[in-house]
Amino acid sequence: MLMEAAQELQRETEETRGDEPEQNSRKGTSLTNQLQLPKLKHYKWWLRVASYILFLLAGQSVATLLGRLYYDKGGNSKWMATFVQSAGFPILLPLLFFFPPSTANTSSSARPPAVSTLALLYLFLGLLLAGTNLMYSYGLLYLPVSTYSLLCATQLAFNALFSFFLNSQKFTPFILNSLVVFTMSAALLAVNAGSENTTAGVPKGKYVIGFLCTLGASATYSFTLSLVQLSFEKVIKTETFSAVLDMQIYQSFFATCVCVVGLLAGGEWKLLGKEMKEYETGKISYLMNLIWTTVIWQIASVGMLGLIFQVSSLFSNLISTLALPIVPVLAVIFFHDKLDGAKVMALLLAIWGFLSYIYQHYLDDSKSKGNKTSADEASSSVIEIC
């Protein structure tokens, strides 16, 4: 009996030793996958950020040019100009089938928010969006273009303030440099706008209204960006593209409802038929302008929300401000505007500010990767000891 027990124990020991290389191999493979996976996620993150930047810059620049074309050719409805900035959300609905909600990136300890909580959140953001767009429309109507652009540049300062209190944004020398340079770029462009673009014959009372509306819109827009970032972190808690789509679709829906009420209550809908007939380039051109403006604003909005989701509201606002000097360059190409030295300098300053912020994020990312590598090496040492 003892001999049989000893033989059986020896067989079990040999089997265990035979399994050790396989177990070590599995541990090594698992460790290799752990080291490779962050790199894959890293490149995917940069690809998403680059895509969102392209969406925001191209969308905002083209939509701004189309909005200018609308006013230049005879359009004058403030509510319609506000309506087209949010009414294109139905084109995003098919994307929900390609990017369904997923719980893979949701914290296991976090419960999904209640439907009533999300409804109130989207309603509040939709009201803010509609109010912001309407205030911008009034500001552009009553203010000289130079004053309007200069006031719009203040949204960076407002966003920095809200990001500090709501999103715990840290300010490094590179970020502060980026803020200052972006503000200088927008201010230089605004001061150089010239008297030929000013709005003549505006009463002093309406001028004050335009000034306050533009300043209020800049503050409200910045507050909305910080609030969206806070909503992603504290309420939604889901790291998926479908969460970005939901945010854009539902807040745009409520904002569009407000615009429809404004069109009907203000009586501007009665003048749209006459406006379309008197449009300089014809009815088809009028409709195509509104349709494409609606579509492109949605593309820009997805880019904006995506950058808030992936980086921060401050970064999203910086990229939005980067479009300020890009639009005049595009206007030179499509509207034959004069390209002077001030516009070129404004563009160079904006690029400098953009690269400054990107470099800061690169430093943060490199530091994060270094900490991750140290943690992986420590984990590998523990595995080898075991």
| Cα gap 374→348, rounded to integer Å | 39
pLDDT value of residue 28:
47
Dist CA 53 CA 90 (whole Å): 22
User: Where does the pLDDT of residue 177 fall: very low under 50, low under 70, confident under 90, or very high at 90 and above?
Assistant: confident
Contacts with 110 (C-beta within 8 Å, 6 or more apart), sequence order: 237
C-alpha span between 309 and 153 (Å, rounded): 22
User: Of 172-181, 193-202, 301-310, 362-371, which range is least confident?
Assistant: 193-202
Which of 99-113, 264-278, 363-377 has the weakest average pLDDT? 99-113
pLDDT at 218: 85
Within-domain flag for 45: no
pTM of this prediction exceeds 0.85: no
User: Is 6 inside any structural domain?
Assistant: no
For residues 85-111, give the mean pLDDT: 73
Contacts of 254 (CB under 8 A, 6+ apart): 122, 123, 125, 126, 127, 129, 130
Least confident among 82-86, 181-185, 291-295: 181-185
pLDDT tens for each residue of 208-233: 888 888 888 988 988 988 898 888 88
Tell me, what's the pLDDT at 310? 83
Inform me whether the pLDDT recorded for 5 exceeds 60.
Answer: no
Mean pLDDT of 306-316: 80
Share of the chain above pLDDT 70, in %: 72
72 inside domain = yes
pLDDT score at 20: 47
Cβ neighbours of 329 (radius 10 Å): 15
Per-residue pLDDT band for 294 (boundaries 50, 70, 90) equals very high
Query: What is the model's pLDDT at position 289?
Result: 92
d(C-alpha 182, C-alpha 160), whole Å: 12
Q: How many domains, the chain?
A: 1
What's the CA dihedral at 176, 223, 146, 81 to 10 degrees?
Answer: 140
Indicate if the pLDDT at residue 300 is higher than 80. Answer: yes
Lowest mean pLDDT among 8-22, 158-172, 217-231, 294-308: 8-22
**Is 169 within the bounds of a domain?**
yes
State the residue for tokens 């939509």. 63
In a domain, 309, yes or no: yes
In a domain, 34, yes or no: no
134 in a structural domain? yes
Mean pLDDT over each residue of the chain, to the nearest integer: 76
Look at residue 378 in the predicted model and tell me its pLDDT.
61
Tell me what pLDDT residue 239 has. Answer: 64
Containing structural domain, residue 323: 61-99+113-369
Mean pLDDT of 179-208: 66
Q: Which residues pair with 238 in a beta bridge?
A: 106
Q: What are the two backbone dihedrals, phi and then psi, of residue 238, each rounded to the nearest 5 degrees?
A: -130, 125
Higher-pLDDT residue of 6 and 278 is 278
Q: Report the pLDDT value the prediction gives residue 120, as an integer from 0 to 100.
A: 94
Mean pLDDT over 122-135 rounds to 93
For 28-38, the pLDDT digits (tens) are 444 444 434 45
Does 278 reside within a domain? yes
